[in-house]
Amino acid sequence: MELSLVALLAGSFAVTALARRLGLSAPLLLVVVGLGLSYVPGVPEYALDPELILTLVLPPLLYSAALDSSYLRLRDNLRPIGLLALGAVLFTTVAVGLAAWWLVPGLPLAAALVLGAVVAPPDAVAAAAVGRRLGLPRKLMTILGGESLVNDATALTAYRVAVAVAAGAGYGLAEGLGVFVLAAAGGAAIGWALGWLVDRVRRLLRDGVLESAMGLLVPFVGFVVAEEVHASGVLAVVLAGLYLGHRSPAADPVARLQDRAVWQAADTVLEAMVFALIGLQLRAVVAGVGPAVGTLTGVGLVLVLVALVARVAFVFPTTYLRPLARRRADWTPPSWRHLAVVSWAGMRGVVSLAAAAGIPLTTMSGDPFPARDEVVYLTFVVTVGTLLLHGLTLPTVIRRLGVQASDESTDALAEAQAQTDAGAAATARLDALDDGDPLHAQTVAELRSRIEARTNAAWERLGGPIAGGGDTPSAVYRRLRRAMLEAEREVFVRHRDQRRIDDEVFRRVQHELDLEEVTLLRE
Would you call 71 exposed, middle or buried from its count of C-beta atoms within 10 A (0-12, 13-18, 19+)?
Answer: middle
At 366 the pLDDT is 76
Compute CA distances 124 → 59, 210, 245, 344, 446, whole Å.
15, 32, 20, 11, 47
Contact 69, 245 (CB under 8 A): yes
Tell me the C-alpha distance between 258 and 255, whole Å: 5
Q: What pLDDT sits at residue 381?
A: 93
Mean pLDDT of 411-435: 76
> How far is the C-alpha of 8 from the C-alpha of 276, rounded, in Å?
8
User: Mean of the pLDDT values across residues 408-427?
Assistant: 72
Q: pLDDT value at position 297? A: 93
150-179: average pLDDT: 75
Instruction: Specify which residues 368 forms β-bridges with.
Output: 362
158 and 89 in contact (C-beta within 8 Å)?
yes
- Average pLDDT of span 218-223: 95
* Tens-digit pLDDT profile for residues 278-308: 888 888 888 888 888 899 999 999 999 999 9
Q: 421, 424, 415, 404: which is closest to 462 by C-alpha?
A: 415
Helix (H) or strand (E) holding 263: helix 253-280
CB–CB of 182/151 below 8 Å? Answer: no
Name the average pLDDT for the chain: 83
**What confidence category does residue 225 fall into, taking pLDDT thresholds of 50, 70 and 90?**
very high
pLDDT tens, residue by residue, 353-364: 888 888 887 777
Quick one: pLDDT band at residue 325, thresholds 50, 70, 90? very low
SS3 362: strand
- Helix/strand/coil (H, E, C) string of 35-101? HHHCCCCCCCCCCCCHHHHHHHHHHHHHHHHHHHCCHHHHHHCHHHHHHHHHHHHHHHHHHHHHHHH
Quick one: pLDDT at residue 127? 66
Please give the residue that has the higher pLDDT: either 328 or 98: 98
Report the percent of the chain where pLDDT is more than 90: 22
CA 376, chain centre distance (Å) = 25
For residue 266, pLDDT over 80 is answered with yes
CB 226 within 8 A of CB 208: no
Instruction: Report yes or no: 344 and 393 within 8 Å, Cβ to Cβ.
Output: yes
Query: Is the pLDDT confidence value at 196 over 70?
Result: yes
**Tally of residues, the chain:** 523
Per-residue pLDDT, 264: 86
Q: Is the pLDDT of residue 429 over 90?
A: no
CA angle 124, 126, 128 (to 5 degrees): 60
Nearest to 351 by CA among 121, 12, 508: 121
Residue 107 · residue 101 · CB < 8 Å: yes
What's the CA gap between 227 and 500, in Å, rounded? 56
Phi–psi pair at 25, nearest 5 degrees: -75, 115
Q: Which amino acid is at 380?
A: F
Give the pLDDT score at 282.
84
Cα–Cα distance for residue pair 477/183, rounded to 1 Å: 55
What confidence category does residue 241 fall into, taking pLDDT thresholds of 50, 70 and 90? Answer: very high
pLDDT bin (cut points 50, 70, 90) of residue 208 is confident
Dihedral, CA atoms, 236, 237, 241, 242, nearest 10 degrees? -40
Rg for the chain, CA atoms, rounded: 26
Using alpha carbons, select from 140, 155, 147 the residue that is nearest to residue 65.
147
- Assess contact for 245 and 68: CB atoms under 8 A: yes
Q: Which residue has the higher pLDDT, 409 or 229?
A: 229
Answer for the pair 50, 409: CB distance below 8 angstroms, yes or no.
Answer: no
Residue 406 has pLDDT above 70, yes or no: no
Task: Please tell me the least confidently modeled range out of 50-59, 166-175, 256-265.
Answer: 166-175
Asked if residues 71 and 246 have their Cβ atoms less than 8 Å apart, the reply is: yes
Residues 367 and 360: their CA atoms lie apart, in Å, by 11
In the predicted structure, residue 330 carries a pLDDT above the cut 60: no
Which whole-number Å values give the CA distances from 219 to 4, 75, 280, in the listed order?
27, 22, 27
**pLDDT band at residue 467 under the 50/70/90 scheme:** very low
Mean pLDDT of 259-271: 87
Segment 177-187 shows an average pLDDT of 83
Pick the more confident residue, 146 or 128: 146
Mean pLDDT confidence for 80-94:
91
Q: What pLDDT shows up at residue 410?
A: 65
Residue 403 and residue 364: Cα distance in Å, rounded? 51
Report DSSP state, residue 439.
G
Is residue 457 pLDDT above 80, yes or no? no
Checking if the pLDDT of 400 tops 80, the result is yes
Q: Average the pLDDT over 495-518 and give the result.
A: 85
Across the chain, which distance is largest between two alpha carbons, in Å? 91
- Closest of 454, 471, 459, 281 to residue 383, by C-alpha: 281
Q: What is the mean pLDDT of residues 36-63?
A: 84
What is the rounded CA–CA span in Å between residue 377 and residue 285? 6
- How distant is the alpha carbon of residue 193 from its chain centre? 22
- Band (pLDDT 50/70/90 cuts) for residue 405 is low
Give the whole-number percent of the chain exceeding pLDDT 70.
89
